[in-house]
Each structure stands twice: as C-alpha cells, then as structure tokens.
Structure 1
Amino acid sequence: MSASKPTFTIDLALLGLFRQGPLHPYELFQQLQQPDGLGSVWRLKQSHLYALLDRLEARRYLTHRLELQGHRPPRKVLSLTPAGEAAFAEWVVTPVSHGRDIRLEFLTKLYFARREGPVVAAQLLERQIGCCQRWLDKHTQRGEALPEQSFERLVQQYRVGQIRATLAWLEECQETLAVFGV
C-alpha cells in the first residue's frame, strides 16, 4: 500500500488518540464510545476501526509491538510514528473546505485542537472563520447576481444563512475558549 495521505478524516483523527501514548485497538475502541468525547460526534464499528488501524499502519503512521499476556495470545499495542505525528499536526490546524464538513470533520478537529492546547484551538478557529467568511462573500455575491424570483437565488440565500449561523457558532467557540483558556 502506498504512503499517500489518508482520504478519510477519521484516519487522521484516530492518530490524535495516540498522542498521549500507545494503545491496543480495543482500548482505543472503548475511548471512542465515551459520550463526552468523540462518541458525541461520530460512531465507529469495532471491525471498521480495526481496518482503519491496519491501513494507518500500512501507511507507516502507526507501528506496533506485541505485548505478552501470560497464557492468553499476545496483544497488539500501537504507537504513533514521526510520520503519523506530522500528518496529525498538519491536519488538526487545517480548516475544512466545505460547509458540509463542519458537523463531523471540524468538530473532530476542534476536539483534538482543544487537547493540543489553547494556541492550537485558537489557530484552528481563526483559520476556519476566515474560510467561512470567504464562503459567505462568494455565496452572497452569487445570490445578488441572480434574478430575485429564481430558485437558484433561494438556494444561495439558504447557503448564506447556514454560513452566517456557522460563523456565529465559531465566534461563540472563540469566546468560550478565551474565557476558559481551553
């Protein structure tokens, strides 16, 4: 398998769970079930998780060692590699490029950015606000250029409303993080 970048957000997000140290796959699966963490953003079946971990290991973002357990079969313990560390560090501060990615990908990035510290979280939020502002400008201009009675203009107005709501929420996030220093 090639060493190209993963195409799914979840691949890179999983790397963030290894930032605090090695984990075995079932331990990772249990962490993902916690409702006050990523469990409130997305669900992942255990078999899918194991396939993703195999893919990350094939891309050399993770490495493993076998841990002996007495009479039971040895268990695999995974660790982040320098390549995995670099891929995660780039991913966590890169804004999402589509509004539809806010709910899963951005929330996942925000979860990890907060764990990385207030500077990383602030950087991600600032970049995402800039990206959303560009989307807002683009869709506002498109809508204004269309005939008032057109369906396409209604679609642009809907998108503008969504982007404005997202921007307001991102600004609330900034305020919350500033107040609590998270």
Structure 2
Amino acid sequence: MATKRRKLGNPLALAVMALLSERPMHPYEIAQTLRQRGKEHSVKINFGSLYTVVQNLEKHGFVEVADVQRQGNRPERTLYGLTPAGHEEMLEWLADLVAVPAREFPLFETALSLIGVLTPDEVVSLLDERVAALDVHAAALRGALTKLYEQLPRLFVVETEYQLHMVEAQARWTRGLLREIADGTLTGVDAWRALRATGEVPAEWKRLEGVRIDIDVDTAADEEKTSSGATKEERPRNR
C-alpha cells in the first residue's frame, strides 16, 4: 500500500501540527518546545525555516491564527492553532508513517552501491573506521537512555531506543561485511581485486553487461501479502 501524496512533505510540518494539537502556540514557542523535548534528534529541524513551515500550513488550511498577543512595548505575537482539517491531516499522515514502510535512500546505502570503485583494502579500512564510530554512537545512546529512563516514561523515549537498535544493527552487519572482504569469502571479491589492480573488467563481469536486473520490491511485497491472505483493514482514527 502506497502512502498518500500530501500537500506538505516536510516532517517538520507534522511535528508542528502535533504540538499545536496540544494548544495554540506562536512559532518561537514551537521552536522552544521542540528543543526542550529533544525532537531535533528525531526530526530534521531548521529553526530558521519554521516560520515558513507555519505559513505553508496556514496556506493549506491546516493551521489558523488563534490569537494575537501584545505585552508592553514588545512586538505582537501571533498564536496559531490546529484546524479540523489540520487535525485530520496530522492523524492520517502519522498513521501512514507508522504503518507503511517508506522507501528511503540513506547515504550509506548509496555508498555501498558504488563501493566497487575503491579497492577492497581501502574499504576494509574505511568500514573499520565506520564500525568504531558506530560503537561510540551506540555507547552515547545507551548512556542517554539510562538517564532518560530515570526521568521519563518509556513512551517518550521509544524513538531513541529505535535509533540505538538501528545503530547496533548497522554495526553488526558492517562487521560481517568487513570480515568477509578481509578474509576473501565475499562472493566476487577476487574479481573486484583484479579489476582494481589491472583496470580490466573481469570476464565473468563482462557477461553481465547489458543485463538488466530489475527487482520491484513493492510489487513483491504486495504479492506476498496476497499469497499469505493478508488483507488491509481500515485503520481507526482518533477523533
């Protein structure tokens, strides 16, 4: 099942709507609250563009001016609130993100797809460096989680748990790949070494030229759901 094409695709807009579902706020208060709750670790936040995000939400009818405040000689502060349309958009968007795995293009995946232009020895060294960095990151996340568990219900730290598990999983997989390249058990590594040493494409690789390998993962997933008898049920909405 594909996600709905939305008028706004910036996850920061979703974070703004989620905050405004609690109470009306002005953009500066939104920025402060996002910082206080540590959301910059889970949402790519450009605080300089926050006002633009709010304006775009207003343009599409998802937020509206709830109040204008003035205190003494300070400039007016415009408070924005979530509209019924914005509330519906927020719930549907979040439900899609939770339920439907999105096809993303991580930079590491891009690097892996092009890794053959380096030598195997270079890759071993670089992956070893990456694993060390991942281990440091994982240790920092474990330390942060220990402190967070002391202060907050687990509900509020599940995104940090997820980050830790993803870092640990990447480290385990990368260690395995590194080991296979280093000990020569990775399929194709000998041809790879020969290519980088001579500049000549190995004969077994030349046979692959012009062969299109097209795997449609989304179609395969749909077929798997159909064959297993899985059916899509309407997700409940919190009103």
- TM-score normalised to the size of structure 2? 0.38
Task: Report which of the two structures shows the higher radius of gyration computed on alpha carbons.
Answer: 2
